[in-house]
Amino acid sequence: MPIHILKTSVVSLSILFFMGSCKKETTWTPLLDKDLSKWDTYLGYKLTTEYNGEKPMDENGVAIEPIGYNKNVNNVFSIIEENGGPVLKVSGEIYGCVFTKQEFENYHLKLKVKWGDKKWNPRLDKLMDSGILYHSIGECGIDYWRAWMLSQEFQIMEGHMGDFWSIENSVMDIRALLPEDIMNPVASEKQPFIPIGEVTENNGFCLRSADFESRKGEWTEIELICFEGKSLHIVNGNVVMVLQNSRYMEDGQTIPLTKGKIQIQSEAAEVYYKDIAIRNIDSLPEAYGSYFN
């Protein structure tokens, strides 16, 4: 083959390889825009400190209905602008969520979160709280707070970024230290997997392994990687929890829970989210595979 033809072929292959590499690096899909076009909303109740899990009643003892879907009362969810980009503001005044219209499976989610200043009943004397709920299925309002879907929770809370909560009857196995007496299980990548969920002996909560939250007023970067029932909670680049075997219990049966919508909680605290983006993955990123060995 003449040298000039060989060179042309090599250059062409290099360009194709470069284009393929660029495509792989630009597969992030933004989920946030000025119209919240990729999200729906649900609002339950503006709760008081007397709330005990029962359906709220009016002064006549008649059950109050939740606000419901896509009724953004008091502008609980709004979009503001920062440096020309959209930022989701969640006032927290009413318990509820904004949730994706689309279901997702096998993905890498990333976003940034920052606290506002306001808190509401029933959490005026408690830490600021929110959360990312993933693999969300069914109807909203089935949990204790009558606000969310059955799901797995990546906790967003002051000093507790990356904790796990099971929502309703979901379960996951987490690398964690066993709970003892009044202590909660604590995530540790050095430990074996133990089941965490309200329907297990370890209840439905697990503490993250360490606190990597940014300082007050600064953005904290959150990443959630989900693949075939496995997931990783990552805060500012640090893995704080390793989870697998996502499932839920129904009528005594164990059912895999590996896909669903993504919810962002409104939970009595003002909070801001930006740079929300997602990309599909066909395997666990190589850097994280060893966490499950």
CATH (domain of 145)? 2.60.120.560
Residue 9: what pLDDT?
A: 45
Is position 84 within any domain? yes
Q: Which amino acid is at 32?
A: L
Q: How many domains does the chain have?
A: 1
Is position 8 within any domain? no
- Which of 80, 105, 78, 102 is CA-nearest to residue 92? 78
Q: Cis omega before residue 122 (within 30°)?
A: yes
Residue 2: what pLDDT?
A: 55
Instruction: Give pLDDT tens digits along the chain (293 positions).
Output: 554 444 444 444 444 444 444 444 449 999 999 999 999 999 999 999 999 999 999 999 999 999 999 999 999 999 999 999 999 999 999 999 999 999 999 999 999 999 999 999 999 999 999 999 999 999 999 999 999 999 999 999 999 999 999 999 999 999 999 999 889 999 999 999 999 999 999 999 999 999 999 999 999 999 999 999 999 999 999 999 999 999 999 999 999 999 999 999 999 999 999 999 999 999 999 999 999 99
Percent helix, strand, coil in the chain (nearest 5)? 10, 45, 45
290 Ramachandran zone, left/alpha/beta (phi>0; psi -120 to 50): alpha
Q: What does the buried/exposed string (b/e) look like for 94-129 if buried means 16 or more CB atoms within 10 Å of the residue's CB?
A: bbbbbbbeeebebbbbbbbbbbeeebbebbeeeebb
Residues in the chain, overall count: 293
Is position 9 within any domain? no
Is position 217 within any domain? yes
pTM to 2 decimal places: 0.90
Q: Which amino acid is at 125?
A: D
Give dist(CA 21, CA 278) in Å, integer.
18
Q: Which amino acid is at 173?
A: D
Is position 237 within any domain? yes
Residue 243: what pLDDT?
A: 98
Is position 22 within any domain? no
How many CA atoms are closer than 13 Å to the CA of 83, on its beta-carbon side? 2
Q: Which domain holds residue 215?
A: 29-292
Residue 8: what pLDDT?
A: 43
Q: Which two tokens stand for residue 176?
A: 């964690």
Quote the DSSP letter at residue 75: G
Is position 128 within any domain? yes
Give dist(CA 140, CA 143) in Å, integer.
8
Is position 191 within any domain? yes
